[in-house]
Structure 1
Amino acid sequence: MAEQDFDASAQWLEAVNQALAEGTPLAVQGSGSKGFLGHPVNARPFDTRGHRGIVSYDPTELVISARAGTPLRELQAAVQAAGQILPFEPPSLGPDATLGGMVAAGLSGPRRPWAGSVRDYVLGTRVITGHGKHLRFGGEVMKNVAGYDVSRLLVGSLGCLGLITEVSLKVLPRPRACVSLRLPMAPAQALQRLTEWGCQPLPISAACHAGEHLMLRLEGGEGSVAAARERLGGEPLDSSFWSELNERRLAFFADPRPLWRLAVPNACTALGLPGEQLIDWAGAQRWLKSDASATLIRTVVSKVGGHAACHTPGACSEPFEPLAAILLRYHQQLKLQLDPQGIFNPGRMYPEF
């Protein structure tokens, strides 16, 4: 066990039960690297970074389990040393990002359309609920997943449903070959090509259009990657582009205007919105820098079957897409079941729960 590893679950359980007895809400977070998501929480700060360390890792089983406060960089270093990866490429967005924050935020990187999201790789969790109980959901292998759906519900919940103490994740072997390409192409042509290529057996694992170029990443066996590279053409692209995109360090993200994340059908044509757009996930994710109103942005996006979230704190009164009445009721009922006193990050996602 590394010197900094520490199991604080007993202290956490005591602190949660004290908060329940006092009726004191808790603002749960790790390093705060995803603090721009949702509403500010007016509650007692609860820092998760003291509960850390990899609990178990068997590369032959493709499963790693770690405590919630474990730095994401340590988790990634461990799997990389074994020739494996977190397939969903979670962004850190800060040097001290934690495993628990990664799960609570539910953000995935460039490989997401081809490999799946965070939710697809969570095998199990341990959680302190709003009933003051420390429970285990799911398991550490795919054949042992009783309660698996509860673990999946925690992904993207922004800490509103309970205090995650431990997570078990499935990992995958690192691709044998990886090549990145840049092709000069207008946005409309890029979207058309990506739609066509999506129906073909090409080893594409990332696709982004920025400026007047389409960037592609090819991953897989050496033969298939070489054949695809020969077929698609283009010029070599430094592979660091994908981490710069994932960590929002490209020049596009430096624009001072509010940042919007638009989730749309990947075959959707260009969106007629004021501002500058960057196309990611082969068209399914569009980043928008714009001073346009939330009403205009969401009206345009909803017409094509998508939704929009504002990732700039304070730029929009409703950071997430407003919920229909029936969906809001489901969310409130779920919150009531897992956190009946509403002590975990109240109002973080929506003011109503």
Structure 2
Amino acid sequence: MSATPHEHPGELIARVQAATAARTPLHIAGGGTKQFYGEPVDGERLDVTTWTGTVSYEPTELVVTVRAGTLLADLEALLAERGQCLAFEPPHFDRGGTVGGMVAAGLSGPARASVGSVRDFVLGARFINGRGELLTFGGQVMKNVAGYDVSRVLAGSMGTLGVITEVSLKVLPVAPAEATLVFPLDQHAALEQLHRWGGQPLPINASRWVPTQGGDAPSQLFVRLRGAVAAVESACERMACEAGGTRLENAQTATDWADCRDQRLPFFSAPSPELCLWRLSVPQTAPVLALPWAPLIEWQGAQRWVWAPAEEAAQIRAATAEANGHATLFRVGVDGAFGVPCFDRVSTAIDTITQRLRDEFDPAGVFNRGTPLD
């Protein structure tokens, strides 16, 4: 995984310039691991998977710069060799996921509520705009900027602003200690306990509450701790005593957390093919939502997943809005979504900013038509 620093992506630029001149829409494509996510995209395929390699890696500076087509798995392997990681745990979903796709989708894994999102770790980026210009924003250090921090705006932009060619990311050392506790708690009790622990100096890194999945198995709250050895050991003893928890073996829980990240847990198998998977984003302190479907809850209460019909969109979005959140139709069932938009409505202010960004970076509207800016 080596590359010539800042080599010019001439072929990609030529494709964009030709598409702009002909007003031909382009579908920016990486490994295809997130094709299920978002609205359908129109256009000719613009493959970025050949634009790969590490441009620079400075372990002592905790920063890596890679090309957008670089496999996410390759980047994580490189970091692991030096005892470092992408702390926000980006989902893979399948083999072939790329760094550019990771940034464009803006999705984060189980640790997001504790360490931050993809956007928080993007230091800089290079991308090709709708005029076929190669632009550079940000750098390799954290700093405040005036106006839009464009390199971070790319996180979650779904390819609507341009073709990401290179990204600089902040990386972190792997925590010296880790432990997972499990507690037999119902949803209300689990949320209350998470809220209580949230106000205490505990090294909680991730959590997930899983509802009863048939049989006699109770609903369970899993809590992962990461940090200094002494802090993790002290928290384990205290939390287990306080809420009746059991400590699990790290070898097993590592697989379980990866399965949660990539939606391979039993919960993420559709109960019936016509149901859709909804992602509900709410404040961590939100109570149990007034919905008839049992959720899987992550991010200390802030991210909740439910399987429900697409035609129940109004009920789902109303209940989520009541909790000051929003709902995303994350995966559609085999029958489709009946015209239900994947993303919730945004405010007029956000819609205005979104349109201004698109007008500035892609005035001809050639990139990923049909996909809203997240």
Task: State the TM bucket, normalised to the shorter chain.
Answer: over 0.9
| Alpha-carbon contact 2:277-2:331 (below 8 Å) kept | yes
Query: What TM-score, normalized by structure 1, do the two folds share?
Result: 0.95
Structure 2 counterparts to residues 310-325 of structure 1, below 5 A: 310-313=329-332, 314-315=336-337, 317-325=340-348
Q: Please, which moves more after superposition, 25-34 or 60-69?
A: 25-34
Partners of 1:7 and 1:148 in 2: CA distance = 26
Cα drift, residue 328 of structure 1: 2.2
Partners of 1:148 and 1:303 in 2: CA distance = 30
Unaligned runs of 5+ in 2: 212-218
Cα drift, residue 32 of structure 1: 1.3
Partners of 2:101 and 2:196 in 1: CA distance = 36
| Alpha-carbon contact 1:274-1:290 (below 8 Å) kept | no
Letter in 1 for 2:315: L
Structure 2 counterparts to residues 79-228 of structure 1, below 5 A: 79-142=79-142, 149-211=149-211, 212-228=219-235
Partners of 1:308 and 1:33 in 2: CA distance = 22
Structure 2 counterparts to residues 222-261 of structure 1, below 5 A: 222-233=229-240, 234-237=245-248, 238-239=252-253, 240-255=255-270, 256=272, 257-261=275-279
Give deviations 1:28-62, integer Å, cap 9, x for gaps.
Answer: 12011111121111211111101001111010010
Q: Please, which moves more after superposition, 196-205 or 230-239?
A: 230-239
| Alpha-carbon contact 2:16-2:131 (below 8 Å) kept | no
The alignment yields a C-alpha RMSD, in angstroms, of 2.0
The corresponding residue for 2:318 is: 299
Cα drift, residue 236 of structure 1: 2.7
| Alpha-carbon contact 1:57-1:63 (below 8 Å) kept | yes
Partners of 1:223 and 1:311 in 2: CA distance = 39
Secondary structure at the aligned position of 1:287 is classed as strand
Unaligned runs of 5+ in 1: none
| Alpha-carbon contact 1:258-1:311 (below 8 Å) kept | yes
| Alpha-carbon contact 1:86-1:171 (below 8 Å) kept | yes
Secondary structure at the aligned position of 2:160 is classed as coil
Letter in 1 for 2:284: N
| Alpha-carbon contact 2:183-2:220 (below 8 Å) kept | yes
| Alpha-carbon contact 1:8-1:50 (below 8 Å) kept | no
Q: Please, which moves more after superposition, 310-319 or 118-127?
A: 310-319
The corresponding residue for 1:270 is: 288
Q: Kindly tell me the number of residue pairs found equivalent between the two proteins.
A: 350
Partners of 2:222 and 2:91 in 1: CA distance = 19
**Identical residues among aligned pairs (%):** 45
Q: Please, which moves more after superposition, 196-205 or 141-150?
A: 141-150
Partners of 2:107 and 2:163 in 1: CA distance = 18
Partners of 2:74 and 2:145 in 1: CA distance = 26
Partners of 1:284 and 1:201 in 2: CA distance = 19
| Alpha-carbon contact 1:137-1:148 (below 8 Å) kept | no
Letter in 1 for 2:36: F
- The reply on whether 1:347 has 2:370 as its aligned counterpart is yes
The corresponding residue for 2:215 is: none
Partners of 2:357 and 2:28 in 1: CA distance = 18
Secondary structure at the aligned position of 1:60 is classed as helix
| Alpha-carbon contact 1:7-1:51 (below 8 Å) kept | no
Secondary structure at the aligned position of 1:124 is classed as strand
Query: What TM-score, normalized by structure 2, do the two folds share?
Result: 0.89
| Alpha-carbon contact 2:184-2:220 (below 8 Å) kept | yes
Q: Which segments of structure 1 move beyond 4 Å, counting only runs of 4 or more? A: 5-8, 143-148
- Say which of 304, 307, 313 aligns to 1:286: 304
In the superposition, relative to structure 1, how do residues 144 and 55 fare at CA in structure 2: closer, same or farther (>3 Å)? farther
